[in-house]
Structure 1
Amino acid sequence: MKKIIIPAVLAALLLAVSACGTVPGGAGPSPADTSAGGSPSPSISPSPSEEEFVFTRENFPRMDGSTSTIPLGQAVASVLLGESRDNVAELAQFSKTTQSFRNLMDGGSDILIAAEPNTSVFEEMKQAGFTYDMAPIATDALVFVVNASNPVDSLTTEQVQKIYTGEITNWKQVGGADLPIEAFQRNAESGSQSLMEKLVMKDLKMAEAPQGYTIAEMEGLISAVRSFDGSSAAIGYTVYYYADDMKMADGLKILSIDRVKPDDGTIADKSYPFLNPYYAVISAKEPENSPARVMYNWLLSPEGQNLIKTEGYVPVQG
């Protein structure tokens, strides 16, 4: 196994996080910020039994993935290259979940940090004879958001299903005000739409959304729910990291489901019902010594998992 040489200041931070077991709550510098404005620090020497690997601009894998994993992609590039987050931002220009898998299949990228795509994408890869290695690196949750003024704090899984099949049409049916429910959806190829169909609806068919109620961007859906008609009639869904850690749901309420509030604890202990991993994905044909394969293995290592934790995601390991 290759030992990745990481600039010393950043490596020390990862070790410190591992030792204390805490996650910075947005205060203070992130791992990417510790080297901002300066040159990379001296590297840490690996043990003699491990082969060294150094990431450079020239060998850095072409990353792609989901919108909600862009901050993680930037952090990975920042740590592994020893540059500030601003300097590496162009290395994490992700093209959304479904398209990122197609880019990997077509040779347009080397590694994905992404949510699970629609099942049709797996069929596309199978038909093309494209084989891949795909491993979970973090866990996220699909969450439902309403206006902060909406008196409803919790829905059951069955109620959510009936809202999106069109059986429940008024908030008073679920303990709210006498208002029609305006249920926003994501576009068919988005990662959160795939999660909605897989985790929530299962074999149930979603009602066709009215014109203008299917939103292509996560930020657009959040904005639509927040500003709809100046009332609390709207509901929509997104991923927890985007809503909470990226603070995109400010002014909105994240609903509990089956009386379980989504947070880092309920995601980690799996008591929140709508969970799905983020994955690292590479071609199965990547050689063991390729930069993409080395990064893939690193994301699953204790150091990679510590970085995932510092960035506010819920790692799959501890």
Structure 2
Amino acid sequence: MGLSASAGSTSIRALCLASLGLLFTAAAPTDATAQIATGAAAERSAILRIHGSNTVGAKLAPMLVAGLLEAKGFHSVRIAPAGRENEQRITAIDSQGAPVQALVAAHGTGTGFSGLKDGTADLAAASRPIKPAEAESLAALGNLRSAAAEQVIAIDGLAVIVHPGNKVGSLSVEQVARLFAGEITNWRELGGNDQPIELHARDDQSGTYDTFKELVLAGQGKVLAATARRYESNDALSQTVSSRPGAIGFVGLASVGTSKALSITDGGSQPMPPSTALVATEDYPLSRRLFLYANPTSQSQWTRDFLNFVHSPDGQAIVEKSGYVAQAISPITLPVQTSMPEAYQRLAGEAQRLTVNFRFEEGSAQLDNKAQRDITRLIDYLNAHDKRMNSAVLVGFGDAGNDAARTALLSKLRAMAVRRELAKGGILVKDINGLGGELPVASNSAAGRVKNRRVEVWLY
């Protein structure tokens, strides 16, 4: 349902129940937002249109839109249904008394890329990276994998949820895959009560489902059981799971609600809950990035303003308020464990780890699009905390390949790549180290190896 509120009396947080797909339109000055064009007329007069992921749209996007409008001096922000499920209209008044509106259409990641292709959207919201076939189909627009097109706006944890009274506290990725494939049918097989298992899953249009399929099902050679009940909305799925003792489902981190989120293990990792710190570092096995994709060669001023706001400190503060994990940097203290390499034990005993990791493709020391922005964030953080000289330590890791020496070398080369970029910003690090395939945070699957190829940042 829609939420209506005046910007003068309602905080941005009050807008978080709105869903996505954004469509800003301008109209002639009037004293009533009800006179704003609707339907096809609104589409024709659009100056910014965003379609796609329900994960991005249910809470995060409306809050970011509200923040942008407030930053531009708009007032009387209101949200109302737009005539279809998961579509809403956001309206506001500018300083001259002229109304603008945003139409919300959050029908799944795939619909965003379709909108970019047919010209009905200026931005595609996605809860997974663009697929090779999608990028190829949009090649006429330019390189959709370039930094100009691909914008990581937040980090999300894909939470596996059960009824609050379920005794099971953690599962391995393999067990989750077998559950959703229908191979485990009673909770007693996992140490729970004698209770039949009910499966609840997102629909095929959902980026949440695409991520689950890639990180859980495909990696174990499984497919979703035909008995699973499917949902277009994360929140609707979570509400159902929280009310049914035998239920299990998966949702974005912001939609856990009153359900119970399980800890997850992958390969040799310890059980990891979808906590803010573990999701921020992307170490949590089912963490994922949330994206906006733009036309890399042609962007309106509204598009540029919106993307700049999303990446700003104010925009990332809204990400945090929305229930997702912001890309802001903060320190965390890790307990020393005897299973850690000796050098890592010393580091954990003397320094704090920062909630930023740099990750790399196989055999590469090239920073990806998120890492390039994170370098700037890290430089700003170190400058703000007077840690420019000899305070930061970079620790590189690799995936467990057949050639341990090559893995160790690549892990150090990746740390050196981060050091080189920091030096361009006037930062002199204290030390670098490469620990090769030590301390994996994921299995040795394709997706797991990407998580294991990382550079951590520690601060004295």
TM-score of the two chains, using structure 2 as the length reference: 0.51
Q: Is the 8 A contact 2:156 2:279 kept in 1?
A: yes
**Pair 1:182–1:108, CA change in 2 (3 A):** same
Question: SS at the partner of 2:237?
Answer: helix
Equivalent residue pairs, number: 260
Residue 323 (structure 2) aligned to one of 278, 288, 312 = 312
The answer to whether residue 263 in structure 2 is matched with residue 256 in structure 1 is yes
Match of 1:13 in 2: none
Give the % identical residues.
Answer: 28
* Range moving further from structure 2, 127-136 or 210-219: 210-219
Q: Is the 8 A contact 1:63 1:91 kept in 2?
A: no
Question: SS at the partner of 1:64?
Answer: strand
Q: Is the 8 A contact 2:50 2:112 kept in 1?
A: no
Match of 1:241 in 2: 254
The answer to whether residue 133 in structure 2 is matched with residue 123 in structure 1 is yes
Deviation of the 1:203 alpha carbon: 3.4
Q: Is the 8 A contact 2:55 2:208 kept in 1?
A: no
Residue 160 (structure 1) aligned to one of 129, 154, 176 = 176
Partner Cα separation in structure 2 for residue 314 and residue 234 of structure 1: 26
Match of 1:101 in 2: 113
Mind listing any 5+ residue stretches in structure 1 that lack a counterpart? 1-9, 11-27, 35-54, 244-248
After superposition, give the CA deviation of every residue in 1:27-56 in whole Å (9 maximum; x if it has no partner). Answer: x9634779xxxxxxxxxxxxxxxxxxxx99
Q: Is the 8 A contact 1:170 1:180 kept in 2?
A: yes
Residue 210 (structure 2) aligned to one of 176, 190, 194 = 194
Partner Cα separation in structure 2 for residue 223 and residue 210 of structure 1: 21
Residue 86 (structure 1) aligned to one of 58, 66, 78 = 78
Match of 1:63 in 2: 50
**Pair 1:112–1:85, CA change in 2 (3 A):** farther
**Pair 1:162–1:95, CA change in 2 (3 A):** same
Deviation of the 1:257 alpha carbon: 1.4
Q: Is the 8 A contact 2:68 2:309 kept in 1?
A: no
Deviation of the 1:241 alpha carbon: 1.1
Q: Is the 8 A contact 1:140 1:267 kept in 2?
A: yes
Pick the structure with greater CA Rg: 2
Partner Cα separation in structure 1 for residue 310 and residue 193 of structure 2: 46
Q: Is the 8 A contact 1:64 1:100 kept in 2?
A: yes
Higher strand share: 2
Q: Is the 8 A contact 1:138 1:277 kept in 2?
A: yes
Mind listing any 5+ residue stretches in structure 2 that lack a counterpart? 1-6, 16-23, 28-45, 80-89, 92-100, 266-270, 330-460
Match of 1:302 in 2: 313
The 5 Å alignment of 1:137-152 reads 137-152=153-168
Higher helix share: 1
Q: Is the 8 A contact 2:116 2:123 kept in 1?
A: yes
